[in-house]
Amino acid sequence: MNRSFLNRRQFLWHSGGGLGGVALAYLLGRDGLLAGETKGKPDLNGGLHHKAKAKRVVQLFMSGAASQVDTFDYKPDLIKRHGEKFDPGGKVELFQSSPGDCMKSPWTWKQYGECGKWVSSLLPNLATCVDDIAFLPSMVSKSNVHGPATFMQNTGFVLPGYPSMGAWIGYGLGSLTDNLPAFVVLPDSRGFAPNGPANWSAAFLPAAHQGTMIRPTAKNPIHDLNPPEKSGITPESEADGLALLNKLNRGHEATREGDSRLEARIASYELAAKLQKSAPEVLDLSRETEATKKLYGLDEKITEDFGRNCLIARRLLERGVRFVQVWSGADNGFPRRNWDSHEDLAKDHGDMGASMDKPAAALLRDLKAKGLLDDTIVIWTTEFGRMPCAQGGKGRDHNPFTFTSWLAGGGVKGGVTYGESDEWSYKAAEHPTYCYDLHATVLHLLGIAHDKLTFRHNGIDRRLTDVHGQVIPEIIV
């Protein structure tokens, strides 16, 4: 097994974010080295294999499939052909419908920034940030089904049982702080995306690298962090109990050298005690200025939830969390509460776009104002795109053949576009780009060679990019 951490601590939140049983933990780093590493504590921005441009990542995931046709992929030919038969040649493969007529976006388009990027009126705030963003409009998925496609964007595989990108990065680089986990997830308050916590699993990596789930609006934002109400447990008695437990565990550990599961169990209580102090401080927004709260949209109902999560994401990043994932969209339901706009695109994307646009732009601006954007990578993505033809007159079906993702900050070149879809935004036409390429590029910016960060599992040296992936130099400064 290639061990890619050096005398650093990694953290765990087992089974989706709780502290029950084998829960939150760290593993003290060993001295196993990857090619290119040097022994001893490296510079925090030194990377594993080359000098890093970034230290941390925040991923904004649009669950349900945000439509590239209605956000960032301007197609004047589609507007001209609105209402005509959609006939790109050959059979059109759809998820649950037959191809309708060409359908233009219900939103208007305008060019923004020095780069002249076209953005729809659905996203007026993100439109003002285009000069900081590198767009990937020819992303391709291997599945048009939400579950497998969501797995693919998170783990590089359409099947369950593989570690998420956040887990891989935590495994490779460890944490920047002893008081918070390396990998934190902020789900949509309305529910989980398809696959739920499996999207931030550590899978076969050491359990210490699974994502920690925080639900800021829940009564207990972090499961089992504090004793139940009316339990009779006081801070003093809890401290005494933890001290006794630690003594017993250390004695048990002494007879079982090298058992990482036991190390994880012991450390779960140690970090839990720290989190009882650090987590409430991170989640307490009372010290943020009213201007900052307004910037993120906390004063408006439609932006309040995603805005709060984006603001907390910034607070986590500046306190040393390595990877933060923020979800926009829950599971399928009616009325729609995600980006899966089969029935009424104008209504459903209108709601989702309005809830996401202002907070996401605020996160970019806030990180930039605080000097954090220079070494923080921001990723905006979704599991696949939507068709340029109508479904039922007002909706759009799934489109795995092209969709848009974008990156900003942390060594990313702003105001550029890599790749292109065809004239309808139906299929990738230039530089088809897979999650493997995006993941390889992110790892590269973090100082990691994607083909060297591996973990031996079932006789195979597994990696985030499987056997694929090319760094995209065109979007790197």
Tokens representing residue 451 in the block: 């083909």
Examine the pLDDT at 113 and tell me if it is beyond 80: yes
Examine the pLDDT at 12 and tell me if it is beyond 50: no
Contact 173, 446 (CB under 8 A): yes
Average confidence score pLDDT of the chain = 86
DSSP helix/strand/coil, 171: helix
Q: What angle do CA 375, 379, 382 make, to 5 degrees?
A: 175
Tokens representing residue 361 in the block: 């732009």
pLDDT confidence tier of residue 285, bands split at 50, 70 and 90? very high
Contact 431, 421 (CB under 8 A): no
Tokens representing residue 69 in the block: 């046709």
Q: Looking at residues 70-84, what average pLDDT do you find?
A: 97
β-bridge pairing 428-430 and 420-421: antiparallel
pLDDT confidence tier of residue 371, bands split at 50, 70 and 90? very high
- The full length of the chain comes to 477
The least confident of 3-7, 214-218, 226-230, 446-450 is 3-7
pTM value > 0.75: yes
β-bridge pairing 9-11 and 26-28: antiparallel
Contact 445, 410 (CB under 8 A): yes
End-to-end CA distance of the chain: 33
- Residue 130: CB atoms within 10 A of its CB come to 25
Examine the pLDDT at 224 and tell me if it is beyond 70: no
Q: How many helices (H) and strands (E) does the chain have?
A: 9, 18
CA distance 13 to 20: 9
Distance of CA 38 to the CA centre of its chain: 30
Q: What angle do CA 200, 204, 210 make, to 5 degrees?
A: 30
Examine the pLDDT at 236 and tell me if it is beyond 90: no
Q: Looking at residues 89-112, what average pLDDT do you find?
A: 92
CA distance 347 to 337: 11
Q: What angle do CA 244, 248, 250 make, to 5 degrees?
A: 115
Tell which residue, 120, 51, 78, 69, has the closest CA to residue 354: 120
Examine the pLDDT at 135 and tell me if it is beyond 90: yes
Residue type present at position 140: V
Examine the pLDDT at 123 and tell me if it is beyond 80: yes
- In sequence order, the 6+-apart residues with CB closer than 8 A to the CB of 55 are 44, 45, 176, 322, 375, 376, 410, 446
pLDDT confidence tier of residue 288, bands split at 50, 70 and 90? very high
Examine the pLDDT at 31 and tell me if it is beyond 50: no
pLDDT, residue 5, reads 36
How far is CA 127 from each of CA 43, 57, 124, 131, 218, rounded to the nearest angstrom?
A: 36, 21, 5, 9, 32
CA distance 193 to 160: 14
**Residue 230, burial from CB neighbour count under 10 angstroms (0-12, 13-18, 19+):** exposed
Contact 363, 313 (CB under 8 A): yes
pLDDT (tens digit per residue) in 54-68: 999 999 999 999 999
